[in-house]
Structure 1
């Protein structure tokens, strides 16, 4: 048993013991709890708790005994679903119970979708017929190959006693130091995510960035992880062992990444997996080989109309990472260079929606610096915790507060008539075939498609827009027409929106009318929510010839709602009329272009009338008060005069 103490987040392990009747479940539990053999234990024991100091990980175990009878099947199944690890017993003197492992118990766990480690335990080892001795490896190897959830197979005897504590040590170890996340039994190699985590750790320890851990760096790694230095002869021995098995694992400087990975493969093969887990947990990883939640600390208290952005410090770090990975110095990352940049993260976060294809690419499919930073801005806006985690994965070692900050409330921005935000979120509304997707494509430099391909669902496009006061990042979010009603039923939906645009096909009467309906629906929601959202109309497909009534009506409704005149664009002719600049400009002036419906205008008129009435009342009261005060002063003066006259008489 290892002397390494568990350093993860678990405070206990729940072990559920199941198996055929008479296989020794209850006797096994009683034996480990009392350190004695009792042949007369009850059929089913109550929950049994083993003290934390019984095993080297210092994590207490709760052992749940179960009945194998049909009438208690439901209760047993509920316990199995709550288990952290399942122990299934068979009797060494009853071969049929061994067969039942594969014909019933393991299949039943899969049927119940119990996805936890399984320990197979042969009890009553002392009662096995000497004539039926068999190789445990030969018997269990095909079973373990078929059921990969099996972590360990062990045989024991409660009466002898033989290997009783070891059963529950292995059960605890399977939970606290799981094998599956680190090692692939099929290939007999490290899992890809484990290699990525170890690569990050290696990179952090390789302080001089020469691609190898020298003796000093190797010793510092040992002290950090295990609080004990390596003696010079131990370092020599480690490098010799690695070199004998993996020659490329050592060079003239020291231990290479391949040698570092092989060392951990060796730990796992020699059943010292807790050593590798200790290293991973020391560097902040959880059981899924992701950074622990307690490391990813972000401001918890923020209003719905606040967002999160990267700080200048984080942006400068990302620029440095970009330059390091741009090996050919062409100002853009090739797909393999981007994959290498994220090779110390669990996976490339931009390989799937909403980040995939959300930023501008070169003709050869590479990612320029502005597009790289735009992707980070998008990730920070949508999922700041994921953004922070990936910042740390790629080498950022500052505090979370120095990487991501919370923007000022939009309601405050409206009052001050300016904003300090650098990233703006724009919701793109419009009916089908209005040109929303083409607008997004144009924003990230994609040519107008020759064939009509209409993407479905929600998507994003992000890019940098050059402004006079400095570059801003604009995020366009396409809102599917069929989801607008559902989205607007959520009163907080528009709080994440800095500006809303409404696209319509300027050649289609139906498209304009539907876009107008969407604008009115959003305007009502803006009024009800109290979060002012600037709005802008976009008349797309200007090359097709405008529908006359749409031109006139759009100007009228723009005037009635108090927003700017429609921006006419043609993506096909690349006539964009500075539309993205105008979108950002609307977002930068959050007190303008907020639509007002007739109901809102009537309400304002009513409030103005009430205010005027109150002012009139105030004036009357003031005059009355002044007159009364004058009368009081006059009365007082008269009394003084009368008193003096009487005194002189």
Structure 2
């Protein structure tokens, strides 16, 4: 090796590449295909060939290629267009001895692909190289550069001769390579620079490989990088060669500590410039990237099958990883992200260098219905839905969880969901993460229309302004509606009623009514708070205390009690029927035994 990393990349386990060949009649499409497959020039070729398959071992990437021949006739345009739309790559042919066919590439075929919105790599191929006029001294670079500047979708240009077997396999190798190792995600042809997303991915890889975090890859780190990506070590002379190539072109690409990030990026730009995209793609794919330069789904094994009342949490291993890297990092937000978007949470863990098995970073919690039966929960993250009418203090409560100062007023009412998350220290030193999810009153009916709405809820808290008559009555309506939803859906959750703004003159009836409602529903008495005066009455600890005992504080409405009573009557009736049937069976057995005894005696 000299001046670069060794080895081929993987193709991302792609099942195959479909290449469609198009071009004017007589440009050598069919002869090109037959010669590539048979490695010999055919005497007679049919006008249009059936699909031709090049086996997986035909090219180094071990991915089979299916070549689709097309007719250039106007009658076949519809079928040809359908094939072009299904292509992974397109080969456009012209005849080197017919300049007009090259003009047609620019004036008809490339505009046709754009009109069809065929957004795949294009390989422009000059066939019949052996027949080109010897007086034509223009090189392919001179001829094709203006066309390639106009049509950036052109990946490669190549001239070949089926008759003399010159560069025929290379045509389909470049087509396959353009699909397996695309240029566009990595390199901006117009600006001749690495794409921003490519730079971000390579920067992340560099940081992960820079184990001593000194801003450079030393010889040992370079060798570990090589082994990880290409399964082969770098020899000392090869490491010297890499550094020399970089330093000659970019002095700050190497310093006394090793290869810098600038040099690392330059090296990959050099690979791409020299057509060695497979090397850069090998690195990216080894670190989990797909062709869109996002982490692949198979790299992020997030459990997809879970019940609505099951949630996703980071495992202790993942949390320890976060703590180890970011001592001052806000891990609470990871809990929130994991609950709402576990795929994104796992992706970010991997992005910042989580080296454990990604499958070990997340766990699906036990169903809450089971937690209620066992009268305990194993969860460490609790989501609390905060209900209440406008101006009841929902946003203020969320701000208090975050430690934000009291606001005397909010400019606008909350119209969309809002979250707040923080760690709550329980008595005994246990720490739980509490997520408050504000449910705006305007969107309440929409939420309630979803039968699984309460599935992810661990505690439902209902706020009302203790000084406002309407606020109390409206909060009571919301409470009853949610309680019925819980009974009907089976996702019953603990309730808490919270009386806010207790620093103001209270609405007298609300105190008596709220106690009566709580007693009737079988939940704890209202909790009185005043954020303005700093009297939170240990509200967040009390929410967590209710969450860790999921079998208590679940409201029971009159309708729910009637349904429960009815089900008990039905169960007792069925039990009586079962006992009666068993007794009848026993009587039958006794009668049979008496009958059998008499029969034996008479005999």
Give the TM-score of the pair, scaled to structure 1: 0.79
* Stretch moving more, 296-305 or 175-184: 296-305
SS in 1 for 2:255: coil
* Aligned residue number for residue 606 of structure 1: 566
CA deviations over 1:560-599 (Å, ceiling 9, x no partner): 3333344455555555443333322221221122222222
CA contact (8 A) 2:414 2:440 kept: no
Q: Cα offset for 1:617?
A: 8.9
Residues 85 and 615 (structure 1), Cα distance of their counterparts in 2 relative to 1, 3 Å cut: closer
Instruction: Provide the residue aligned with 1:387 in structure 2.
Output: 345
**Cα deviation, residue 28, structure 1:** 2.5
**Is 1:417 the equivalent of 2:421?**
no
Tell me which residue corresponds to 1:43. 47
2:250 equivalent in structure 1: 246
The structure 2 residue matched to 1:182, chosen from 169, 173, 186, is 186
Matched ranges for 1:412-491 at <5 A = 412-431=370-389, 434-447=392-405, 448=407, 452-469=411-428, 470-481=430-441, 483-491=443-451
Q: Deviations over 1:119-171 (max 9, x none)?
A: 22333444445555534334433443343332222233333443221111111
Counterpart-to-counterpart distance in 2, 1:33 and 1:569: 81
Q: 2:260 aligns to what?
A: 256
Q: Please give the residue correspondences for 1:276-425 in structure 2 after superposition, counting only pairs within 5 Å.
A: 276-299=280-303, 302-323=306-327, 369=329, 372-400=330-358, 402-425=360-383
Q: CA deviation at 1:275?
A: 1.5
Question: Tell me, what secondary structure is at the counterpart of 2:493?
Answer: coil
> Which sits farther off after the overlay, 597-606 or 384-393?
384-393
Question: C-alpha distance in 2, partners of 1:82/1:456?
Answer: 45
Structure 1 CA distance, aligned partners of 2:19 and 2:348?
35
| Residue 517 of structure 1, CA deviation | 4.2
Asked if the contact 1:27/1:39 (under 8 Å) is kept, the reply is: no
- With over 3 angstroms needed to count, the CA separation of the structure-2 counterparts of 1:148 and 1:487, relative to structure 1, is farther
Within a 5 Å distance, the mapping from 1:590-629 to structure 2 comes to: 590-609=550-569
Alpha-carbon distance, 1:608 to partner: 4.3
Corresponding residue of 1:217: 221
Aligned position for 1:354: none
1:315 deviates by: 1.8
How many residues get paired?
588
Contiguous gaps of at least 5 residues in structure 2? 1-5, 589-593, 595-603
- TM-score under structure 2 normalisation? 0.84
CA distance in structure 2 between the partners assigned to 1:71 and 1:555 by the alignment: 83
Rounded Cα–Cα distance in structure 2 between residues aligned with 1:548 and 1:49: 85
What is the CA–CA distance in structure 1 between the aligned matches of 2:45 and 2:537, rounded to whole Å? 86
Does the CA-based 8 Å contact 2:9-2:279 persist in structure 1?
Answer: no
Hey, what's the Cα distance between the residues in 1 that align with 2:162 and 2:586?
102
Choose from 33, 43, 68 the match for 1:29: 33
- What residue is the counterpart of 2:149 in the other structure? 145
CA contact (8 A) 2:386 2:438 kept: yes
Secondary structure at the residue paired with 1:493?
A: coil
Cα pair 1:5 1:56 within 8 Å, conserved: no
- Alignment equivalent of 1:202, drawn from 206, 211, 228: 206
1:16-61 CA-partner distances (Å, limit 9, x unpaired): 2233444433333233223233475333322211111211111100
Which residue in 2 is equivalent to 1:123? 127
Which stretch shifts more, 582-591 or 291-300? Answer: 291-300
Structure 1 residues not aligned, in runs of 5+: 324-331, 333-368, 629-634, 636-649
SS at match of 1:590: coil
1:350 — aligned with what?
Answer: none
Tell me the secondary structure at the aligned position of residue 64 of structure 1: strand
- The Cα RMSD (Å) is 3.8
Q: 1:286, CA displacement in angstroms?
A: 2.8
Q: CA deviation at 1:374?
A: 0.5
Deviations 1:163-218 (A, max 9, x none): 22111111110111112222232343333333333334334444444443333333
* Counterpart mapping for 1:623-638 below 5 A: none
Which deviates more from structure 2 when the two are superposed, residues 582-591 or residues 120-129?
A: 120-129
1:19 equivalent in alignment to 2:17: no
> Which whole-Å CA distance do the structure 2 matches of 1:103 and 1:446 have between them?
64
